[in-house]
Amino acid sequence: MILLSTVLYNLLLHPLRSLPGPKLWAATPIPYTRAWLSGRMSSNIHRLHERYGDVIRVAPNRVSFAHPDAYNAIRGHRKAGQPEHGKDPVFYKMSMHNILGANREDHSRFRKILSHGFSAKAMQDQQPLITQYIDLLMDRLQELTKGGREEAVTDMGAWFNFTTFDIIGDLSFGAPFGCLESSSYHPWVTAILKGVKEFAMLLVMNWFFPSFSRVVKVLTPWHHPAKHTNEQAEFARVQVVKRLNSGVERPDFVQALTNGSKANNGRPLTIEEMAMNARLLILAGSETTATALSATTYYLATYHRVQTRLAEEVRGQFKSEDEINFFSVNRLTYMLAVLDEAMRLFPPVPANLPRKAAKGGDVILGWQIPENTGLEIWPWAVNHLSRNFTEPDKFIPERWLGGDSFEGIVFDKSRHSALQPFSVGPRNCIGKNLAYVEMRVILARFIWNFDLALADEKSQMFPKAKSFGLWVKKPLNIRLIPVRHVSK
Measured between alpha carbons, how far is 93 from 210 in angstroms, rounded to an integer?
A: 13
Among 485, 423, 424, 474, smallest CA distance to 450 is for: 485
Measured between alpha carbons, how far is 391 from 400 in angstroms, rounded to an integer?
A: 14
Other C-beta atoms closer than 10 Å to the C-beta of 367 total 16
**Is 179 part of any known ligand binding site?**
no
Among 376, 421, 480, smallest CA distance to 154 is for: 480
Measured between alpha carbons, how far is 123 from 116 in angstroms, rounded to an integer?
A: 10
| SS3 assignment for the chain | CHHHHHHHHHHHCCCCCCCCCCHHHHHCCHHHHHHHHHCCHHHHHHHHHHHHCCEEEEECCEEEECCCHHHHHHHCCCCCCCCCCCECCCCCHHHCCCCCCCCHHHHHHHHHHHHHHCCHHHHHHHHHHHHHHHHHHHHHHHHHCCCCCCCEEEEHHHHHHHHHHHHHHHHHHCCCCCHHHHCCCCHHHHHHHHHHHHHHHHHHHHHHCHHHHHHHHHHCHHHCHHHHHHHHHHHHHHHHHHHHHHCCCCCCHHHHHHHHHHHCCCCCCCHHHHHHHHHHHHHHCCHHHHHHHHHHHHHHHHCHHHHHHHHHHHHHHCCCHHHCCCCHHHHCHHHHHHHHHHHHHCCCCCCCCCEECCCCCEEECCEEECCCCEEECCHHHHHCCCCCCCCCCCCCHHHHCCCCEECCEECCHHHHHHCCCCCCHHHCCCCHHHHHHHHHHHHHHHHHHEEEEECCCHHHHHHHCEEECEEECCCCEEEEEECCCCCC
Helices (H), 145-186: 156-173, 179-182
The distance in angstroms from the start CA to the end CA of the chain is: 81
Measured between alpha carbons, how far is 452 from 153 in angstroms, rounded to an integer?
A: 10
Residues belonging to the binding site are 429
Residues belonging to the binding site for heme are 429
